[in-house]
């Protein structure tokens, strides 16, 4: 396997680190994911935690699912920790189910000590996972308490089936070096963040076009992006604004028929934090003057990466270094490559070329 196809770039194949695996859609990543990861590093004595962003959860529909590249990039921004790695190795491993991903990672990193991390709310769902018994036999598992899903989750069929292999919380630091099946319940501080709740508060294209939401604040009512505006004209306005502000390396990614949250993603660069913020501010001003309302903007405080949600066009403005790190274009290329149907081998006689 070449370096380009390395499932976790930067990690040597012979690593013997203790690594927690936190898999999911991360749609979007939130403080709850980070909380579990930090607790795992501390309570389990891990060296790293890997966030495995799934291209598509086989138990969920893709309705409302943001593109993989966006989910990976936002997860990296949310993680913000030197010992948390974020990637989508299933694209390169060619796996879809957790048990297959775990087995593939163990083959790729045979000396690593992996622990599967999950919230207690997942324990009752495990029996619906393909190969859930094999998963217990393949990797130690740590389940972290979630609001409403503490010790009650331990009565679910999966934890009951493997009850005799449960380690006490006082032995949690032994989990990574324990031979599976082995699992532990961690009654840590509860975190109530939920991706489902976040998506419910941030509906996108499903919202009726041009709807106004009154917000009682010093700014009065706020008009959300008008989805009825012609998308081509909106994209043209975005591109003109970026060009006027000397944005560099502008890339437009067509999301139609690929995503429910936007029709286009635009990626651009500014040479400095100040230019990145200025590009985003001028863009929002021009869009507002064109009748698109006050737009959601994220990341202006840092200026490394600013996201402007213009409805059917989502714009990412980066400094060059963060852009290279988050690698949105590369992630999209990987996703497109993984979606291609694999050619079937054709057996038969070899036909000689004409002389």
pLDDT per residue as tens digits for the range 103-112: 999 999 999 9
DSSP 80: -
pLDDT per residue as tens digits for the range 133-177: 999 999 999 999 876 656 678 889 999 999 999 999 889 999 999
In a domain, 60, yes or no: yes
- Rounded CA-CA distance 235/124 in Å is 45
> Highest mean pLDDT range out of 173-177, 183-187, 258-262, 291-295?
173-177
pLDDT-wise least confident of 1-5, 158-162, 222-226? 1-5
Position 17 scores a pLDDT of 97
Are 184 and 250 found together in one domain?
A: no
Report CA 206 to chain centroid distance, whole Å: 21
Are 122 and 177 found together in one domain?
A: yes
Report residue 5's pLDDT band, with 50, 70 and 90 as the boundaries: low
Q: In terms of Cα–Cα distance, which of 24, 27, 35 is closest to 199? A: 27
**140 neighbors 175 (Cβ within 8 angstroms):** yes
pLDDT per residue as tens digits for the range 285-335: 999 999 888 887 877 877 888 888 888 898 999 999 888 877 777 776 655
Position 66 scores a pLDDT of 81
In a domain, 221, yes or no: no
Q: Rounded mean pLDDT of 1-29?
A: 83
Are 242 and 186 found together in one domain?
A: no
Position 216 scores a pLDDT of 37
Position 26 scores a pLDDT of 92
Number of domains in the chain: 2
| CATH code (residue 250) | 3.30.460.10
In a domain, 121, yes or no: yes
- Rounded CA-CA distance 193/44 in Å is 22
In a domain, 220, yes or no: no
> Does the pLDDT at position 195 exceed 50?
no
Determine the 3-state secondary structure of 335 from DSSP.
helix
Are 159 and 54 found together in one domain?
A: yes
| CATH code (residue 112) | 3.40.50.620
Position 161 scores a pLDDT of 96
Are 73 and 187 found together in one domain?
A: yes
Q: Rounded mean pLDDT of 244-248?
A: 95
Q: In terms of Cα–Cα distance, which of 145, 231, 244 is closest to 191? A: 145
> Does the pLDDT at position 3 exceed 50?
no
First-last CA distance in the chain: 37
- Rounded CA-CA distance 126/128 in Å is 5
Please give the backbone phi and psi of residue 5, each rounded to the nearest 5 degrees, phi first.
Answer: -105, 15
Which range of residues forms the domain containing residue 317? 231-339
Q: Rounded mean pLDDT of 51-69?
A: 74
Burial of 126 from C-beta contacts in 10 A (0-12 / 13-18 / 19+): buried
pLDDT-wise least confident of 9-18, 119-128, 199-208, 210-219? 210-219
Q: Rounded mean pLDDT of 221-245?
A: 76
- Beta-carbon contacts of residue 58 (< 8 Å; ≥ 6 apart): 96, 97, 130
Q: In terms of Cα–Cα distance, which of 188, 154, 192 is closest to 43? A: 188
Are 185 and 301 found together in one domain?
A: no
């Amino acid at each position: 396997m070449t370096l380009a196809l390395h499932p976790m770039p930067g990690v040597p194949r012979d690593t013997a680190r203790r690594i927690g695996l936190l898999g999911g859609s991360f749609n979007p990543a939130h403080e709850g994911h980070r909380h579990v990861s930090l607790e795992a590093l501390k309570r389990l004595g891990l060296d790293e935690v890997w966030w495995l962003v799934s291209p598509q959860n086989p138990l969920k529909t893709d309705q409302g699912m943001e593109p993989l590249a966006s989910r990976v990039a936002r997860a990296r921004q949310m993680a913000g920790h030197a010992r948390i790695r974020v990637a989508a190795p299933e694209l390169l491993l060619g796996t879809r189910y957790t048990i297959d991903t775990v087995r593939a990672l163990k083959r790729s990193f045979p000396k690593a000590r992996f622990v599967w991390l999950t919230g207690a709310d997942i324990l009752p769902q495990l029996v619906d996972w393909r190969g859930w018994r094999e998963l217990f036999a393949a990797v130690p598992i740590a389940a972290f308490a979630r609001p409403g899903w503490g010790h009650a989750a331990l009565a679910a069929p999966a934890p009951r089936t493997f009850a005799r292999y449960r380690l006490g919380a006082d032995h949690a630091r032994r989990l990574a070096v324990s031979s599976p099946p082995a699992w532990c319940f961690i009654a840590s501080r509860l975190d109530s963040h939920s991706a489902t709740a976040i998506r419910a508060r941030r509906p996108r294209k499903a919202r009726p076009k041009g709807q106004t939401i009154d917000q009682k604040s010093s700014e009065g009512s706020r008009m959300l992006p008008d989805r009825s505006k012609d998308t081509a004209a909106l994209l043209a306005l975005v591109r003109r604004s970026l060009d006027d502000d000397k944005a560099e390396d502008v890339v437009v990614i067509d999301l139609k028929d690929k995503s429910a949250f936007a029709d286009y993603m635009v990626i651009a660069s500014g040479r400095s934090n100040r230019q990145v913020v200025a590009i985003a501010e001028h863009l929002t001003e021009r869009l507002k003057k064109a009748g698109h309302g006050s737009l959601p903007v994220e990341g202006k405080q840092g200026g490394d990466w600013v996201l402007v949600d213009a409805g059917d066009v989502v714009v990412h403005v980066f400094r060059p270094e963060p852009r290279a790190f988050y690698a949105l274009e590369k992630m999209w290329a990987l996703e497109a490559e993984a979606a291609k149907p694999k050619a079937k081998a054709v057996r038969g006689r070899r036909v000689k070329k004409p002389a």
